[in-house]
Amino acid sequence: MSIARADKFVVLTTNRSGSEWMMSTLNSFPNVFAHSELFLPRPQVSEGKWNSDFAYPRFVESKVEGPAIRPFSVFSYLNTFYSMPGKVGFKLMYKQLGLYPEILGYLLKHRVRVIHLMRQNHLDVMLSYAVKAKLGRSHLLAGQSAPDELRVQLDTRTLLRKLAWLQQQQNIARRLLKFFGLPHVEVIYEDLVRNHTLFLRIADFLSIDAEQQIPKSALTKIRKEGHRDVIRNYDEVKEVLVNSKFSGLLE
């Protein structure tokens, strides 16, 4: 079995996990080029984004060499992507790995290192979806201002089912990484936000000579208020969660 490639990595995660913030933070390390989702089924729109200057064409808009059928086209695309110099990686969602299972074969063959990013508070994930739906955007660039008042409504009829699904996806991904023995490290979004020095653990995993440099993101949070201030139907949400296994998610 070949040695794990410390110069090639992928961040495995799910939507609204803080992954874009993490990618922009990793990109501030010297000689690290962290890209966004390459397997989204639509062309890249980089204007006004944190990675506007270097956004890589997604698989759906690429012209790969060799057979234009899967899995060969996916392998060719990834070979070209990972041929770039430096520490190169991209963001891969659980769903995208399910749609492109050959990616797993590629990661195994080339021993690409995996950073498994998890967000522990699944209620914050649901809240992030609602904020994005209301504002029509996912992130703010550093220096941009969030709305003065930001309040959203959560659907309490489906809330428990969606929280359970988020937890299940996370558990499946953890088992998958362990079963196949992929070189990986687990990181918690909330821990990274509280303590940026934990990025040095990732730097060590990727053999980055960080020299104790604490990286900084080009993005800033949209939501800074607590649950009670942002969730319009806070009392209803609390009533649904209070006797469930997710009761501890509510602030």
Domain range summary for the chain, segments of one domain joined by +: 5-249
What's the order of all strands across the beta sheet hosting 5-13? 32-37, 87-93, 5-13, 112-118, 184-188
Report whether pLDDT(142) > 70. Answer: no
Kindly report which listed range (21-25, 66-70, 189-193) carries the lowest average pLDDT score. Answer: 66-70
Q: How confident is the model at residue 146 (pLDDT cuts 50, 70, 90)?
A: low
Coil, strand or helix: which one is 49?
coil
Coil, strand or helix: which one is 4?
coil
Q: How confident is the model at residue 163 (pLDDT cuts 50, 70, 90)?
A: very high
> For 29-85, what is each residue's pLDDT tens digit?
888 999 999 999 888 776 567 676 778 989 998 876 666 788 999 999 999 999 999
146, 230 in Cβ contact below 8 A? Answer: no
What's the mean pLDDT in 186-213?
88
57, 246 in Cβ contact below 8 A? Answer: no
Tell me the C-alpha distance between 157 and 203, whole Å.
Answer: 42
Give pLDDT, residue 222: 72
- Residue 11's alpha-carbon distances to 38, 205, 229, 247, in angstroms, are 11, 13, 32, 29
Report whether pLDDT(5) > 80. Answer: no
Report the candidate in 48, 67, 75, 51 with the shortest Cα–Cα distance to residue 59: 75
Coil, strand or helix: which one is 161?
helix
Tell me the C-alpha distance between 217 and 26, whole Å.
Answer: 8
Report the candidate in 94, 88, 115 with the shortest Cα–Cα distance to residue 184: 115
Give me the CATH topology for the region 5-249: Rossmann fold (3.40.50)
Tokens of 203: 């730097």
Mean pLDDT of the chain: 88
Kindly report which listed range (31-45, 163-177, 184-198) carries the lowest average pLDDT score. Answer: 31-45
Among residues of the chain, what percentage have pLDDT more than 90?
A: 63
